[in-house]
Each structure stands twice: as C-alpha cells, then as structure tokens.
Chains A and B, each alone.
Chain A
Amino acid sequence: MTLALERIGPEERGSASRDKDVDAAAGRVALELSGVTLSFGGVQALQDIDLVVERGEIRAIIGPNGAGKSSLINIISGVYRADRGRVSINGQRFGRVPTERLARLGIARTFQNLALFKGLSVLDNVKTGLAYRHRASVLEQVIGVGRARREQEEARARSQAILDFLHLTDVGERLAGTLPYGLQKRVELARALVAEPDILLLDEPMAGMTATEKNELADFVRSARDRFGTTVVLIEHDIGVVMGLSDHVAVLDYGRKIADGTPGKVANDPKVIDAYLGVAPENEDGEGI
C-alpha cells in the first residue's frame, strides 16, 4: 500500500528522515511510534520499534509470547514510559503518553486480563467510557438537574446504542462480574467503543475465546471500524484470526519488529515463519511483560 508501512529493520532509520515522514503523513497517520525502546531490569522488552498506523486501518501486531506486544500497547496508552523513542497520536508527539488524557486524545483500549468494573452493571460499565467528557458538578449530579441530567441521558442513550450494536442488550442490567468470559470481553469492547474513539487499542481481545466467539468478535471489530471510522490496533498471538481481519500486520519477536506489511506478505516472510511458526499458535495462556 504505502512504502511507510514496509520499513523493516532498525538500521535503516535516522531520526531526521522520520520527522519529514511525520509532517508529510500527519493527515493520514493516526498513530506513529519511532525508535521506541523499553527494558525491565536487564530484560529488553522492546528494541527500537517503529510503527506507522494509518487512519481507518485495522493493524495487527502479532508475535509469540514474550515478544513485547503488551509492552507496546502499554507504551501507547501511557501505562509504561519508553526508555527511548516517541509516540505520536494524531500528529501530537509524546515521550510518555499522558494516561489521564488518553480518552481526550481519542484513544480507547481494552485489556488483556479483563479490567471491567465488577461491581457495576454492564450498562454502567459502558457509561464510564463517557465519564471523561462530562462536566456536571457533583451538586448538579446529586440534585439531578441541568447539565447532569442532559449528560446522563445522553450517556444512557449512547451506551444503550453500543450495547445493541454489540448484541449485549439483554445483559445490560447484569453485574459485569457475573457474565461469562467471552461476554465480558465484549463488554470491554463496548466500553472502549462508546466514546467513538479515533484509535482503538485491543490487547489480545480474542484470548481464551472459542473459535465461534473469535469470529463473532472479528466481525464486531470490522463493523465498528466501518461504522465509526475507528483506527484499530490489535494485538494477538493467534495468526489465523488476524490474517483475515487486518489490513496490515506487524510482527514482533524478542522485542524487535521483524516484519511489517500486508497479511499475505507477512505470512510468506521467511523470518516470520522462522520466528513464529515454531510456536504453537493456539497457545492461549496469558502472557505479557
């Protein structure tokens, strides 16, 4: 598709040329990582990662367990600070992405290990995804007037719409913690989507799901992109689902990016086959660094 997506290997880049790329691509690039490096103690989790994600694409990042995928998503969402390198979100560059402003920057994410609010109903969980844009004072909320009332009505309507969209209407009143695993994953997706983010980060959304559930979720992700124009960054270690779903695939191995391109191209890359296919792709244990 574009040359920018096919850069391979860290040695080809200089930071000067990167900046030019950023300027040229600012309009259609949603997310860009340049030279991102991270280590924990002596363990090198990520080495000099470059990544360009175009607006509206579904971009998968795959790799075997421990390849650094989760670290990457945690850097994009500001949970970790990169030792070196930068992250640009819609043209704004950050050394550390400010987590508390993430939602306002147009980024939403889901979590590898479920991170729903177990004590809230499904509908209320989804509503929390809109909390960041609410301005009503506590007093207005307690009395239930003015801005508070409008905001809550809107939040309710939007959340309900997302629940309908993801076929969760029937469980809206249930406590999130009481749902089966697959549904909880979908509620997380709903909570992330309700704010209609520019960029949606999915951290192993299909881990632990049955084949049917995986296909279902893939359909949801695709239709979410089509409906809201959301850019999707998706982390997975299951190659199968990813190939059909994503526009581009980047492959990580031992903290390095070893391939980046269209699914077909990546699947035939000998380096990828070497690094990846030795690992059982169905391994579904939790992982991450």
Chain B
Amino acid sequence: MTGFDWLFFTEVLVGGLLSGVMYSLVAIGFVLIYKTSGVLNFAQGAMLLFAALTFVSLTERGINFPLAFVITFAIMVALGIAIERAVLRPLVNKPPITLFMATLGLSYVLEGAAQLVWGTQVHGLDLGIEDLPFDIGGVFISQFDIFAAAVALGLVVALSLFFRYTRIGLGFRAVADDQFAALAVGLKLNWIWASVWAAAGLVALVAGLLWGARSGVQFSLSLIVLKALPVLVLGGFDSILGAIVGGLLVGATEKLAEVYIGEYFGGGIESWFAYAVALVFLLIRPAGLFGQKLVERV
C-alpha cells in the first residue's frame, strides 16, 4: 500500500459526496415538476438564480434574513403560479419536447428579468457559516459543506413527509401516478401544478442560497442546471431517490476524477465529466439507476 494516501482519498471522496448533495438538491427541483406534470423544466436554474438574486438584493436593502426569505418565497410562489398559467396551461397536451423547449425560452426570460431588475454585478452572500475545514479523525471536511448537506437533507426529509402525510402531498402523488385518473376523481390539476411549481420554487430558493453563499450570487448560478442534468439522466427524471443517489455519484466521481486523473487531461474536465459518467452508465444500463424497464406499447 505504498504511495496511496487513503486519508487523502477519503477526504476527496467525502468532499465530492458533499458537493454531490448540492447537485441532488438542484436535481430534486426538476424531479418534483417532472413527476407531476411530465415537464423537464430547464428553467430550474434560472429560477434558482432569480430566487438567490431576489433574496440577496432584499437583504442588501436592509431587510432582515427571515423576512427576506419569506418575501422571496412568496415571490417564487407567485412566479410558479404565473408560469403555470401563462406558459404551461396553454401548452397542455403538447408533446413533452415542446414543453421542454418552452422552459428553455422561460429560462431566457427569467435570467434576463432577474438581471434587468437586480443588475448583473456579483453579490456576496453570507449565511453566517464559515467555510472552515473541520477535522474528523484526520479527515478535513469543510464546515460549510456539512451545513449545506444537512440543509439539503432536511429539505428532502421535509418534502418526503409533506408528500406522505398531507392532502396536497397525496394529490401530488395521485397526479404523478395517473393524471387522468386524478382528474377523474376530481383533483384540481391546475391547483396541484401551481403548488408543485411553488415547491420547486422553494427548492430553487434553498439551493440558490447555498450555491450563492459558496460562489457568489451571479449569472453563472443559472448554469447549475447543467450540473443537475447528468444527475437526472443517471437517476431518472422521475425519481427523488435517483436524484439523491445520482447527485452523490456524480459529485464523488467528479471530484475523484478531477484529483486523480484530471492532470492527464490538463484539468478543467468537470465541465463534461459528469455527462461522460452518465452516458457510459446508461450505455451499460439503459434503464438508469432505479428506472423501470419500460414496456413498449404498440
């Protein structure tokens, strides 16, 4: 075992897993909407940017943290309802790819609007958690990463409980299971979709704050969507568990690859490595991590 530094390896692995949690968090926003309405919402990244930018701009204007959070959340809910009304409802029954392209357009509108309103400069965001290394048995882990992972975990648990034990949650699951049946038993789809968008808005807000605190609140936040997509390809667009495991997998392999094989490629491989992992995995296992094998109906 000469030469191989297991402690260092563990450090890299844990660091990767923790940043993977952040990917999962973004991916879950996608899953919520995909599961209930079959839309792959490319604008999730733009929503994240929009939320973080709104929050930061509010705090910069002297509004305290909890109030800013509440106001931003309210804005995200309003935004979600508006999107459902203005974009998705007119496109109901259109092929999924059409809806996807509409969300591409939506992401342009949101990115433009967020920056037109709040400006394009980079905003710092301090959540009061210092990014200090933390010693666990000789392995150094970022305190902020642990905090972010804990928040993400908390959000996932909260969402799961919400889905399992509330009436709205039951509605969510019914719609995800069978839209037509849900409609037939009198569930109000529009209302459920609007609340799904609101929930996705909450996820976007939390993810936006965590990512924003890490790297500054700026346009590039919107590009996090590109990190979440390979996670979704890996875990399946409709599986929360898939989003979590996929995020961990992508986070871990990405960090490990960057550290151990990145130098052979001259570095910078993180822009495409997650996609390569997802593609190779899918070529071996087309159904994804947890996906069911679909039976072709003709």
Contacts and interface: CB of A to CB of B under 8 A. Distances in A.
Interface stretch (A110-118, A244-252, A264-272): A110-118
Q: What's the dominant secondary structure at chain B's contact region?
A: loop
B298 A40 contact: no
B294 to A, nearest CB: 11
B295 A40 contact: yes
Contacts of A288: 297
Interface in B266-298: 295-298
Interface in A12-45: 40
Nearest to B297: A288
Candidate in B295, B296, B298 with the most chain A CB atoms within 10 angstroms: B298
Q: What's the dominant secondary structure at chain A's contact region?
A: loop
A201 to B, nearest CB: 11
A189 B295 CA distance: 25
A133 B298 CA distance: 23
B298 A115 contact: yes
A112 B298 contact: yes
B295 A111 contact: no
Interface residues of A, number: 10
Contacts of B295: 40, 80
B12 to A, nearest CB: 41
B164 to A, nearest CB: 24
A79 interface: yes
A74 interface: yes
Nearest to B296: A79
A203 B295 CA distance: 17
Interface string B47-85: 000000000000000000000000000000000000000
A79 B296 CA distance: 7
A68 to B, nearest CB: 14
Contacts of A115: 298
A112 B298 CA distance: 7
Nearest to B292: A41
Interface string A64-84: 000000000010000110000
B263 to A, nearest CB: 44
Contacts of A113: 297-298
B196 to A, nearest CB: 29
Contacts of B298: 74, 79, 111-113, 115, 203
B29 to A, nearest CB: 31
Contacts of A40: 295
Contacts of A79: 296, 298
A288 B296 CA distance: 12
A161 B297 CA distance: 31
Contacts of B297: 113, 288
A113 B295 CA distance: 15
A117 to B, nearest CB: 14
A79 B298 CA distance: 8
A101 B295 CA distance: 21
A81 to B, nearest CB: 11
A113 B298 CA distance: 7
Interface string A99-136: 00000000000011101000000000000000000000
Nearest to A40: B295
Nearest to A71: B295
12 contacts: A40-B295, A74-B298, A79-B296, A79-B298, A80-B295, A111-B298, A112-B298, A113-B297, A113-B298, A115-B298, A203-B298, A288-B297
Given A74-B298, A111-B298, 10 more contacts: A40-B295, A79-B296, A79-B298, A80-B295, A112-B298, A113-B297, A113-B298, A115-B298, A203-B298, A288-B297
Interface of A: 40, 74, 79-80, 111-113, 115, 203, 288
Q: Which 8 residue pairs across A and B have the least CB separation, nearest first?
A: A111-B298, A79-B298, A79-B296, A115-B298, A40-B295, A74-B298, A288-B297, A113-B298
